[in-house]
Amino acid sequence: MIYLKDIRKSFNQQPVLKGINLKVGKGEVVAILGPSGSGKTTLLRCLNFLDKPDEGIVQVGDVQVKTKKATKREILSLRRQSAMVFQHYNLFAHKTVLENVMEGLIVTKKYKKTDAKRESELMLKKVGLEDKHHHYPSQLSGGQQQRVGIARALALNPQVILFDEPTSALDPELVGEVLSVIKTIAQEGITMVIVTHEMSFAREVSDRVLFMDGGVIVEEGSPLEIFNAPKEERTRQFLNRISRDIPIPYLEEKAN
Amino acid sequence: MTIDILFIWTAFKEILKALPTTLFLTILPLFAGFLIGLAVALIRIYKVKYLSGVANGYVSFFRGTPIIMHIMLIYFGLPLLIDQISAKFDWGFQSNSIPISLFVLTALSLSAGAYLSEIFRSGIISVSNGQMEAAYSIGMNTFQAMTRIVLPQAMAQSIPNFTNIFIGFLHTSSIAFIVSQKEITGAANIVASTNLKFLESFIAAGFIYWGLTIMAEGLSFFIEKKATAYNRGGLQ
């Protein structure tokens, strides 16, 4: 479903991705972990050319793009293989919730308005926002906005959905509603790549975990392998640091 | 000298007849300037090869010189140019067959284009990058993303600035009277000098401009409220 070969990307001569190779199978849910600045978001954005890789081959679905020879048309058809859920939601501010979800169906999938509306209503029901059709994004909470973002991505019925830290900008009490929506759609067999800092979520939802640091994939494996028995020192350090930041077991002990 | 209050009303009615000319000299250049401004703003934002240099020079010159200068340059310069070219190619075309208002309209349109391009540019830049990225992520091309997502928001946010420019150009159209266009100021001048009642005539003209400006502000406020409702947490 996804095939990356030797993806390299620099910003101002500062290498951010140093040769990423990756294959993701159909229906697989892949979580990408790593410290900030490790290139995980850039990798995700290279998948739909929001950041154009300097070198390498990107394939999503059956569209393959060789970075150096990429034409506008190729990039457009690559982008139409995937949909993205953004950290800061990026809902179309001047469109209502329903219009946000309909937009892609009408413009890029050439649906008739009534069909797009029916499909969008279905998607909004799925994310639990059937009562917010005519609200503008500015009238919604962060969690609700992000669920609209998910509905917008889902409506396109893409080959892959890319999640870029979908809960990082949310208030802690709103994280749960968004994660539970993502879990539901993960169970439907859609291929997903998720960049996240929610360790327990990554462990629960993903089939495979990638740990990135310094622009390379340091380690990959099943959630069980990565979280319980990381092989690489850097992975261990990272997981230790994270668990020290959120000492949940400690708190639980204390509460008991 | 005493002031003849009643004559203000007489002058008002007389000067008001020139209102269509003033509106014509305001709205037409702004309409042309709208198209020029949008094109120039996009050329500058996307740094289109060769054209962006021309666009930069255009904006710099027309914002860097007074509008009265543009009218003068075009009123005196353009006929010269047209006649030279016409003579060279033997077209038998005389520039004095062109109505003066066309020169004024050209000058005002070019000025409006320069000012409006900066308003468009700031409006477009103020729309967050994430909007464009979201549009790309659902498979839109640049044109679709621009026309459906970015420009509607940029326009809505630019309404107060458009109103400023409209008011500015409404008042600026008065300088067309130096090339003998009979718009409101021109008409006021004629009424004033034929009746030798200068103060009264210009007070009347002042009230007309003021009234027009208040109406424009009211309309702008109303449109802005409608157009940016999405940003105010209020329902449609």
Q: Do B233 and A134 touch (CB under 8 A)?
A: no
Does some domain include residue B234?
A: no
Helix (H, G, I), strand (E, B) or coil at A7: strand
Query: Coil, strand, or helix at residue A25?
Result: coil
Helix, strand, coil shares, percent, chain B, to 5: 85, 0, 15
| pLDDT lower than 50: segments of chain B | 234-236
CB A50 within 8 A of CB A165: no
Same domain, B8 and B41: no
Closest by CA to B21, choosing from B168, B185, B189, B206, is: B185
pLDDT recorded at residue B70: 93
* Residue B161 sits in the same domain as residue B105: yes
Residue A112, Cβ neighbours under 10 Å: how many? 10
How far CA B154 is from CA of A48, A131, A192, A231, B41, in Å, comes to: 25, 29, 33, 51, 12
In a domain, B12, yes or no: yes
- Closest approach of B226 to chain A, Cα-based (Å): 11
Is B236 part of any domain?
no
Final residue belonging to a domain, choices B126, B141, B169: B169
Instruction: Answer whether residue B54 is part of any domain.
Output: yes
Residues B6, B90, single domain; the answer is no
User: What is the model's pLDDT at position B236?
Assistant: 43
CA distance A49 to chain B (A): 9
Pair B151, B193 in one domain: no
Task: Assign residue B89 the CATH number of its domain.
Answer: 1.10.3720.10
Q: Which of A79, A91, A162 sits opposite B136 (nearest CB)?
A: A79
Position B86 in a domain = yes
- The angle, 0 to 180 degrees and rounded to 10, between the axes of the packed helices B100-126 and B51-64 is 110
3-state SS class at B91:
coil
- Give the domain range for residue B125: 29-169
Q: What is the dihedral of CA A214, A217, A220, A223, to 10 degrees?
A: 50
Same domain, B128 and B218: no
pLDDT at B189: 93
Distance CA B159, CA A228 (A): 58
B100 and B203 assigned to the same domain: no
CA distance B147 to chain A (A): 12
Q: Are residues B123 and B13 in the same domain?
A: no
What's the first-to-final CA gap in chain A, in angstroms?
46
B219/B48 Cα distance (integer angstroms): 36
Q: Is B60 in the same domain as B155?
A: yes
What tokens were used for B25? 């000299």
* Set of chain A residues whose Cβ sits within 8 Å of the Cβ of B131: 90, 92-93
What is the residue whose two structure tokens read 């003849």? Answer: B4
Strand A216-221, strand A208-213: pairing: antiparallel
Q: Where among B169, B192, B207 does a domain terminate?
A: B169
- Minimal Cα distance from B136: which residue of A? A79
**Looking at the domain assignment, is residue B39 inside a domain?**
yes
Residues 6+ apart with CB under 8 A from A24: A1, A2, A3, A30, A160, A191, A193, A208
In a domain, B45, yes or no: yes
Residues B10 and B36 in one domain: no
Within 8 A of B153 by CB-CB distance, chain A residues are: 93-94
Domain total of chain B: 2
In a domain, B177, yes or no: no
* SS3 category, A65: strand
Strands A29-33 and A208-213: parallel
Domain shared by B10 and B33, yes or no: no
Q: Count of CB atoms within 10 A of residue A79's CB?
A: 24
Task: Assess contact for B188 and B206: CB atoms under 8 A.
Answer: no
Encoding tokens for residue A215? 């622009």
Same domain for B77 and B115?
yes
Based on the fold, state whether residues B85 and B114 are members of the same structural domain.
Answer: yes
Going from the first residue of chain A to its last (256 residues), give the mean pLDDT of each consecutive group of 10, the final group possibly shorter. Answer: 94 93 94 92 95 94 92 94 95 95 95 95 93 93 94 94 93 90 90 92 92 94 91 90 62 57
